[in-house]
Structure 1
Amino acid sequence: MFSLFSCIVKRVLRTVRSNRLPKPTSGVGRFVYKSNRVSLNLNRHPTSQIVLNGNVYLQSDLGDRGFVNISMAENSILLVDGDLILGPGVHLQVCKNATLTFGGRKSSSGSGITCNTRVMVNQNLTIGSDCLIAWDCFISDCDWHQIHNQPNTISVKIGDGVWVAQGVTILKGSNIGSGSIVASKSVVAGGVFGPQSLIAGNPARVVRHPVAWSRDLDPTH
């Protein structure tokens, strides 16, 4: 009986906390607390837009505590097309006039960023639907310092159903095809990678094709 009462109290408290969360600029979705271990720190310019066509769930899959940090500069856009999970230590930084797009969940059991990952956008960065991004990753479309006689910003696109494993770095000009896997600790320093590729190394290259994966473990294997 006490256990049931405790569960009900926790659910009510999460609902109350969720109702206090910032509202998106537009869309049918909202920010939702799924764990009392995660809090939202949102710093947005009045001209920025947060468009949620799915819910953004703030949850801790690994039991860590921390903040989801979202920074939105002047005229920036955060677009989420389906339900998305964000864990503690996730930092989303969208600079002036830049756009960050998440496809969110479409057909898999979940899509999002586990924890302790930074996504920095200077111009345009797209992460497709049903993607899974592990912890300790860095994804950006910009060098953030100027290398002479080279562009400092090139758009990044991660296709649908891509698994980005632990500790991966994805840099400007990277285009990763749908259904691919980026192996742990890989550095993708630009370039186009076809669909269903196993991408590994520093600098990253295709080491196997085709590959297939799913978010949930198969109990028969």
Structure 2
Amino acid sequence: MVNPYAVPKLVEVLENTEQEPMVRHEAGEALGAIGCVDAVPVLEKYKDDSVIEVAETCQLALERIKWLQSEDKESEKLSENPYSSTDPAPPSTNMDINNLKIQLLDENSALFNRYRAMFSLRNIGTTEAVQALAQGLKCSSALFRHEIAYVLGQMQHKACVQELKENLCDEKENPMVRHECAEALGAIATEECTKILEQYLQDKERVVKESCVVALDMSEYEQSKEFQYADSLTKLNS
């Protein structure tokens, strides 16, 4: 929605250290998406939060606001986002898959730059780009892995099912990552994805269990005749 009206409530959620880290993360990300400079002080306050996922989210949000305010933003030739989402970082100006993959997986590079590579690969959208992105599911940052899973869910490409499955099945994996992997599998919506999700309907992590329920509903809708009909009409009118 990108509405500044929400900023005070989002700040309140971010500042509530008793709140679930995933919720605080979403609040911080939303502040970055809105891009309001009024949010900078609170993002600065929590950029070194004890919860690393919250800290990294605030760092990314600050970088995005800084980029939005930069004078050379307009001169960058960026690839088009086919999903109309407001992303935590703009795509990179680079469109070479090999170079983007190197940037994506470089753990010594700034997280904001790695995110830019991520969204460039998503926008490219080829099988090769999907496979490059899927390798990011083994990177050290849980926040990064969660965003990779989200992006793969947007793309709905079968080439990453095995990697998403591995992270969902790993009970030692961060619940936020497992949640996004479940939703991505629901969006891909193959028979194999359905079988994987059904195995975790009673997972001990509530967020994972509920995500699998939602993902199976998504999968059923994606495979429904009603969706196929609506999707066909969209393609005909595009």
Asked if TM exceeds 0.5, the reply is no
* TM-score normalized with structure 1 length: 0.25
Q: Going by fraction, where is strand more abundant, 1 or 2?
A: 1
* TM-score normalized with structure 2 length: 0.24
Q: Going by fraction, where is helix more abundant, 1 or 2?
A: 2
